Structure 1
Amino acid sequence: MDIKEIQNLIKFVAKSGATEVKLEMDDFKITIKTTTENATIENGSYIQHIPVSMPQMQTAAPVATEAPAVAAAPAAEVNDDDKYITVKSPIIGTFYRKPSPDKAPFVEVGATVKAGDVLCVIEAMKLFNEIESEISGKIVKVLVDDSSPVEFDQPLFLVDPS
């Protein structure tokens, strides 16, 4: 069984509504499990809605230290990105900012989003997974180019939660 046949099998299982399929042959075994609780089929494409878990912002307690009598080096620069929350990719795939090539992007820099808004789509094995925001805020920066491959846990957006 080649990769094309496996992809077709996955598509078939996704469209059939089955939650689990096991296939055993002489030289291999395949188990495909699906969930339809967050999925829809639109225009013949299986779309899975994946909520993105957001890291909680933590503030460190100030540490009391004595300043040296003579400063030997200039003060360290403060990184403005620390106040933003990073939205990361929950899966490996191809990042798309638009639902289709002829449509507008889901979000632009400066756009205000709320929890549940779709930020982008990541295609993995011909399945288009909508990545939803789990927080409300303002998009500060898009960190990935459209149609680029992304890795698991790769930063996609910077969001200002204030």
Structure 2
Amino acid sequence: MDIKEIQNLIKFVAKSGASEVKLEMDDIKITIKTAADSETTIVHQVPAASVPQVVAPAPVPVTPEPAAAAPAPASDDSKYITIKSPIIGTFYRKPSPDKPLFVEVGQTIAEGDVLCIIEAMKLFNEIESEVSGKIVKILVDDASPVEFDQPLFLVDPS
């Protein structure tokens, strides 16, 4: 099972309203538990030889304070496209500490440009833009935990 299939499973469970889903296959066990405000995914990979299972650390829930502040400027931001996180993980603005940032505020981007990296379970996923436009605002600090569907960037499509 690859990361895309796991992401799709997480999306499906989030939309279904189920509180807990367990999936067990030959070499992998996945438990997805959802609560009112948070979503936790635990993946166990079991090698062929029976070895103790390793549990991935649960992501740190995002505090509701920024979310409460977001609706106030929403009227100003309504003309912008919001690029959201497709997965849970840690948000990085650079490919490595000694490299330049992927994008900056005011930069023009095209569809397919890499905007950031989100690390999930030791896998670094490049997040590409699905729209063309100009970066208006970066909504997440570097090396911060992000949740599924959390807004990352505001893009002016004009």
- TM-score category by the smaller chain? 0.5 to 0.7
1:106 CA drift (Å): 0.1
Amino acid at match of 1:80: D
The answer as to 2:18 corresponding to 1:22 is no
The match for 2:140 among 141, 144, 156 is 144
Change (3 A) 1:98 1:78: closer
Greater percentage in helix: 2
The match for 1:155 among 151, 155, 158 is 151
Deviations 1:54-93 (A, max 9, x none): xxxxxxxxxxxxxxxxxxxxxxx98220000000000000
The answer as to 2:77 corresponding to 1:81 is yes
Q: Check the 8 A contact 1:22/1:30 in 2, yes or no.
A: no
The match for 1:134 among 123, 130, 133 is 130
Change (3 A) 1:147 1:78: closer
Q: Which 5+ residue runs of structure 2 have no aligned equivalent?
A: 3-24, 29-43, 47-72
1:30 CA drift (Å): 5.4
1:126 CA drift (Å): 0.3
TM-score for the superposition, normalised by structure 1: 0.54
Give the distance between the partners of 1:109 and 1:133, measured in 2 at CA.
14
Q: Which 5+ residue runs of structure 1 have no aligned equivalent?
A: 1-9, 11-20, 32-76
Which contiguous aligned blocks of 4+ residues in structure 1 show a shift greater than 3 angstroms? none
Highest relative contact order (Cα 8 Å, sep 6+), 1 or 2? 1
1:148 CA drift (Å): 0.1
Give the distance between the partners of 2:98 and 2:152, measured in 1 at CA.
22
Change (3 A) 1:23 1:146: same
Give the distance between the partners of 1:78 and 1:96, measured in 2 at CA.
25
Alignment of 1:12-91 (within 5 A): 22-23=26-27, 79-91=75-87
2:33 corresponds in structure 1 to: none
TM-score for the superposition, normalised by structure 2: 0.55
Amino acid at match of 2:116: C
Alignment of 1:103-114 (within 5 A): 103-114=99-110
Amino acid at match of 1:79: S
Please tell me whether Structure 1 or Structure 2 has the larger radius of gyration of its CA atoms. Answer: 1
The alignment yields a C-alpha RMSD, in angstroms, of: 2.6
